[in-house]
Amino acid sequence: MTKMSPSSLDYYNKNVIQRIMDKYAMEQMDASRRFLTSETHRMLEDESLAMWEFSERAVFDMWEVEQVTGDPRNSVHLRSEL
């Protein structure tokens, strides 16, 4: 697996973790652990999935969907209902 560039990954990490902290009143360490160990983050790291095409808000939404359903692919941003 080729990984996303460190600077891009850092941008997403900071912004998504901040959103988690703000919405769930979570401490930074807990929010970081929850996001960095998630399937959403694993997908974000994988350059071949081109997740950089999504805003950090969309990535946050994918993470939230993963927390509820167990799979970030259930997010409206990733589902294709054609």
Contact 51, 4 (CB under 8 A): yes
Q: According to the model, what pLDDT value does residue 80 have?
A: 63
Tell me the β-bridge partners of 46: 3
Residue whose C-alpha is closest to residue 21's, from 31, 9, 13: 31
pTM of the entire structure? 0.92
Residue 80, phi then psi, degrees to nearest 5: -115, 115
Give the pLDDT confidence of 9-39 residue by residue, as tens digits: 999 999 999 999 999 999 999 999 999 999 9
Contact call for residues 36 and 21 (beta carbons, < 8 A) = no
DSSP 3-state of 46: strand
